[in-house]
């Protein structure tokens, strides 16, 4: 055959493949979500998230140390609140000495250089399981919810958080939080906005992990329709205008097109959340022997990065970091 172009020349050895590789994963690209619970010495494995645990603060510090050792530079905290502390107004979220705030203080003291991110939403704290306050007809109250989210963000900032991450999808919450943080002297605290958070069926294991049970209705009046991508661009634009520092797409792998479109629409950093359902499917299939779990994990993360994400939330962050370091994708 007389061929001018032979693309395989650029694939003929590991060295050449490395030279022409377009997308790279690094441990510093990964954010490790962690579930913090009360007590001492608690390390309670979550059935639907193999290898992931609800941990008391002392256990959490050991897990953070392990993650830092393999190159993870950012973790995100999610509190597991006992049912007796949940109520209709999510009152516990505004407790300055609450579980999440105590975890922030202790982690920042032990790991001052770690980027620490905290969830800002009411669903871990509400007895009904919604991310916002509910009116008498079951509707979600936007503006009243935002008032509580602002107080929640301020309390986290006082505890020493690096980034607040509003995941509630209430209108106007980024601007309200930004204004409040600045006025209170916390202009250095970043806002990592869940800009395009879809009403997805992939969140099931996460809700089990938190013990967050939706007592009525669904979240479709505030989380996004999975059929829409233009709406994601609008949400991202609004969050950017309101002062967000980073924009997120959640879930990640089923919404690679949205990541790419948002990447093309903004100069802000983009994050993507490889959510509990994505992680659980990989782990379950791997345990069954149906797939090579390590390779599928890395391939999925590479796809998310290739789509345009600058950083990725993944429950497999430490494992992925170890595999990246030893060149398991090569």
pLDDT (mean) for 22-41 = 96
Residue 266 maps to a domain: yes
String of b and e for 102-132 (b: at least 16 CB within 10 Å)? Answer: bbbbbbbeebeebbbbbbbbbbbbbbbbbbb
| pLDDT tens string 70-97 | 999 999 999 999 999 999 999 999 999 9
Identify whether 243 is part of a domain. Answer: yes
Note the pLDDT of residue 327. Answer: 82
d(CA 178, CA 186): 9
Please list the residues that pair with 95 across neighbouring strands. Answer: none
3 found inside a domain: no
User: Which CATH number characterizes residue 310's domain?
Assistant: 3.20.20.70
Range of the domain at 128: 22-214+228-325
Tokens 């982690």, residue located: 107
Is 268 domain-assigned? yes
Cα–Cα distance for residue pair 259/186, rounded to 1 Å: 29
* Number of domain units in the chain: 1
Confidence check: pLDDT of 287 > 90:
yes
User: Catalytic residues, which ones?
Assistant: 197, 250
The 3-state DSSP class for residue 34 equals: strand
- For residue 8, tell me if it sits in a domain: no
pLDDT-derived band at 191, boundaries 50, 70, 90: very high
């Amino acid at each position: 055959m007389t061929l001018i172009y032979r693309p395989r020349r650029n694939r003929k050895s590991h060295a050449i493949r490395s030279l022409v590789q377009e997308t790279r994963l690094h441990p510093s690209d990964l954010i490790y979500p962690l579930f913090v619970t009360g007590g001492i010495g608690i390390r309670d494995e979550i059935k639907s998230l193999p290898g992931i645990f609800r941990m008391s603060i002392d256990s959490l510090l050991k897990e953070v140390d392990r993650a830092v050792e393999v190159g993870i530079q950012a973790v995100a905290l999610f509190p597991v609140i006992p049912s007796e502390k949940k109520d209709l107004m999510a009152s516990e979220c505004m407790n300055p000495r609450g579980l999440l705030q105590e975890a922030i203080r202790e982690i920042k003291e032990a790991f001052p250089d770690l980027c620490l991110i905290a969830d800002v939403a009411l669903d871990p704290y509400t007895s009904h399981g919604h991310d916002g306050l509910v009116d008498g007809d079951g509707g979600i109250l936007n503006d009243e919810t935002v008032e509580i989210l602002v107080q929640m963000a301020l309390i986290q900032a006082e505890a020493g958080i690096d980034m607040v991450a509003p995941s509630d999808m209430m209108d106007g919450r980024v601007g309200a939080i930004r204004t409040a943080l600045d006025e209170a002297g916390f202009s250095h605290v970043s806002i990592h906005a869940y800009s395009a958070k879809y009403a997805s069926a992939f969140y099931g294991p996460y809700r089990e992990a938190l013990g967050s049970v939706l007592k009525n209705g669904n979240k479709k009046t505030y989380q996004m329709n999975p059929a829409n991508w233009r709406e994601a661009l609008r949400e991202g634009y609004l969050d950017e205008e309101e002062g967000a520092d980073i924009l997120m797409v959640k879930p990640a792998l089923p919404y690679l097109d949205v990541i790419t479109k948002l990447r093309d629409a903004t100069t802000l950093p983009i994050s993507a959340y490889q959510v509990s359902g994505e992680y659980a499917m990989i782990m379950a299939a791997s345990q069954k022997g149906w797939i090579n779990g390590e390779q599928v994990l890395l391939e999925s993360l590479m796809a998310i990065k290739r789509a345009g994400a600058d950083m990725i939330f993944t429950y497999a962050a430490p494992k992925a970091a170890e595999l990246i370091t030893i060149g398991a994708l090569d």
